[in-house]
A and B are shown apart, each in its own frame.
Chain A
């Protein structure tokens, strides 16, 4: 089930051309990845112009270093990881703390959940959802980030690891720890759970 390469053929081809100085291929890579990069970046800081600046810096740097980039694998994840570094470096410069980047836990990673949602119909669901939102806020940024990459973006462990610059083993551990914390902070009160046969009809509300 393991995904090895993580880019499609065109992106790969464009990447090779780009490292040889093809500006058109470079632009194509930019267009293929901008939305993903923007979305991911915005979780680190709410200021859109700051994130746009970081994406710009990233691509300028890629262009200037293109001769060294031929060997890059998993291009998409390489770009996400590079953007992550660019943002964290910029934020540390903004807060003028020399130790900022040494302290992995000190960055912010926010996921925005609406207070109400039309899919949450019953009182029980509303209560569980309220607990869920509180529990998500109690996670550390790193835990929220890995939950985001693994569950919301649906990435494989090796992809998550590549982006967060940790080992695959560490990614498994971090996901497990995050789920534990999340579950602990969601004490399901003694709801009257539906009987077995009613269950699937109830669940289908959620699809």
Chain B
């Protein structure tokens, strides 16, 4: 039965499966459908706008979140109450630890000797509750039990539960920088399994995809290369499209357009530039390394473009190459960079 869209009201859109699917997953095909729908029913533009707005308003709610401690407290209470005489508690717990320890050993072997298992990362957490990996001075690749690939940049670490691939929501915690290629997993009834990356003050909810996260003391951002992710912070949820970066400034989420390739260049140790402007590169330095930048007086130089490959393994080398390529002078003190023209501009 074809739908009679001419009679549609806001309420009908909110009860329409196609509309809800579009709002929920924001897929290209749905967007195209609704765009042509709008061309066909231009008088419905206001209705569509109102329905979208109402849907979006509904999702601005602040959700109460539990802590890991809450979860352990309640579990302890349950275990105390159900500890029956025929099931000696100590024996049970020892066998659980044994299984976890065996699992941990297998995973550590899989991940290679250079990964380092921290046992006492969080004092309040149960021993052997988490698998934690730290990349030392080199970039490390890690395969999670569910097939997700994580490339950890130097001096970064990643933590996840041993039950990762069993739970409905796969969760990892990242500090430092990482690039993730999330495996597609479905639940029994064919639904997509959620994958969440927890950062200091935001969460990234993955809808099947490749993306880069930076979770460092002075900066947190997410760059999406492919697919779709939702970033959650204090009950706000923002959907990212490929080529977008989101970061936190003054505890608010701010979205911007970038070239994702620039942000994943560290995976190969070089940055491939294709008509990349100086402005884009300076923006990268801000987001990626947390520099604050004094932009040059002459804005025209920001639009100068360059192609080729840049070595990003050392910041010294990077600065040197940049100053030669754009004919600029880069002076930096700690996290502050001042960009000036090498030679005073001869023509204004």
Contacts and interface: CB of A to CB of B under 8 A. Distances in A.
A60 B92 CA distance: 17
A178 to B, nearest CB: 10
B168 interface: yes
Interface string B1-23: 00000000111001101001000
Contacts of B9: 183
A16 to B, nearest CB: 13
B167 A59 contact: no
Given A38-B66, A56-B81, A196-B42, A152 B61 contact: yes
A99 interface: no
A118 B66 contact: no
Nearest to A3: B189
A24 B162 CA distance: 13
Interface string A3-18: 1111111111000000
Q: Interface extent on A, as a size class? A: 35 or more
B74 A4 contact: no
B60 interface: yes
A111 B35 CA distance: 32
A78 B46 CA distance: 40
Nearest to A12: B188
B60 A117 contact: yes
Contacts, number: 161
A168 to B, nearest CB: 14
Given A39-B64, A39-B65, A193-B45, A5 B166 contact: no
A6 to B, nearest CB: 7
B66 A10 contact: no
Given A1-B17, A39-B65, A193-B49, A8 B74 contact: no
30 contacts: A8-B188, A9-B187, A10-B167, A12-B188, A28-B166, A31-B75, A34-B71, A34-B74, A35-B71, A38-B71, A39-B63, A39-B65, A39-B66, A42-B64, A52-B73, A60-B78, A63-B78, A64-B82, A113-B61, A113-B62, A118-B252, A119-B60, A129-B60, A151-B14, A154-B24, A179-B11, A196-B38, A196-B45, A206-B52, A206-B53
Interface of B: 9-11, 14-15, 17, 20, 24, 26, 35, 38, 42, 45-46, 48-50, 52-66, 70-71, 73-75, 77-78, 81-82, 87, 92, 95-96, 99, 161, 163, 166-169, 187-189, 191, 193, 234-236, 238-239, 241, 252-253
